[in-house]
Chain A
Amino acid sequence: MERTLLDFWVGLFVAAGLAALFALALKVSNADSFGGGAGYTVTASFDNIGGLKVRAPVKSAGVLVGRVSDIRFDNKTYNAVVTLRLDSKYQFPRDTSAAIMTSGLLGEQYLALEPGADERNLKQGDAIRITQSAVVLENLISQFLYNKASDASSSSPEDAQHPGAKP
């Protein structure tokens, strides 16, 4: 009698532990999405990827269609080559363009795909030709300051000595 009661408690404990693991897998993590399932990879090269990271989401029209699987630096073209793993449920034309966007003002960066109009679709190993790099905040600010400075110099030549000193 004591024996079976002990077995019962141990069985209950093991079942609770396994149930907790299942709950962690299904409710807490993304075990069901892109878990090494069917998919195909394409590459895209960018001048600058900003803060894009491996496993960043790939979205089209805001829907998650894949993830960034690899980022490396090409030593011949001096570009960043990003490998995307797309779910095989989603097919894109061959002239699809890729852009690096930011979700929110300071949020994480993701890769947005804008479908083109080609008849043929992207296949495993294809490269996306049209790409748009990440917006680097410093470049944006310096461009803005340059424009301001050139505006100022056309109106009053003295200020041209100190570009960006005064807006």
Chain B
Amino acid sequence: MKANVISRLGRTTLDSIGRLGVASRFLMMILTRSATSWRRFGLIVREIYSSGVLSLVIILVSGLFVGMVLGLQGYQTLETYGSAESLGVLVALSLVRELGPVVAALLFASRAGSAITAEVGLMKTTEQLQAMEMMAVDPIARIIAPRFWGGVISMPLLAAIFSITGIYGGYMIGVRLLGIDDGAFWSQMQSAVDFREDIVNGVIKSGVFGFAVTTIALFEGYDAVPTAEGISRATTRTVVTSSLAILALDFILTAFMFRG
């Protein structure tokens, strides 16, 4: 019994290390074969539509609400120190540095990542991928790579849209509702937020998250057990793994970027 548990533990570890190796090989395969899909840019445009444009509503709505909540909460705390005018700084910095990239990526993982996994997994289950190979069409170049680049392109744009909507939400609450001075809100924000330090780093973060989420989603779909249950498990794994990856990567990137 005890030996059984230990051997199962060992097998799980070996399995997950093996999967990581296969995933790295899969990523290399995408990167080396994506030249064809860049030549047929229409394929990438279609994927930007399905992962970017269709995620726009959830990004806009949640960005607005996150910004409004930050405005309300920040105002109550800053008011105690008599510095409610710094609300713009608080809202802008927390959105641009952390919440924009992270929350947008989490939403992207559950909205677009799960869709990618389900789609690719179903293609595998119904043997469409094998059929393509039979017709000498490379499924990596035709199916996987366009989805990868579509996600990598969409993610930074979605994060930027999230941040700007959130800042506008904070502005509506702070200035319109609670009566902070309009000029102080924007001027303090502008003097505290740095373009290279904060905004460019936020864009880099969201690019890294987009890369990670789409890679995980595509791999889970491509590697799914070709049954109905296998697809459902793969979809769940995509959301769980990419959420954890986003949070862990965010810690690492933050430690590198904002030490000063």
Contact = CB atoms under 8 A, between A and B. Distances in A.
Interface of A: 3, 6-7, 9-10, 12-14, 16-18, 20-21, 23-25, 27-31, 35, 54-55, 57
B49 A31 contact: no
Given A28-B190, A29-B194, A10 B53 contact: yes
Contacts of B154: 13
Interface stretch (B24-32, B136-144, B155-163, B238-246): B155-163
A16 B157 contact: yes
Contact of B157 (A9, A14, A25): A14
Main secondary structure on chain A at its contact with chain B?
Answer: helix
Contacts of B203: 21
B211 interface: no
A27 B186 contact: yes
A9 to B, nearest CB: 5
A18 B157 contact: yes
A67 to B, nearest CB: 10
A20 B198 CA distance: 15
Interface residues of B, number: 31
Contact of B167 (A13, A28, A30, A55): A28
Contacts of A3: 42
B198 A29 contact: yes
Contact of B45 (A6, A16, A18, A25): A6
22 contacts: A6-B46, A7-B45, A10-B53, A13-B52, A13-B154, A14-B157, A16-B56, A16-B161, A17-B156, A17-B161, A18-B157, A20-B163, A21-B160, A25-B195, A25-B199, A28-B96, A28-B193, A29-B193, A29-B198, A30-B191, A30-B194, A54-B260
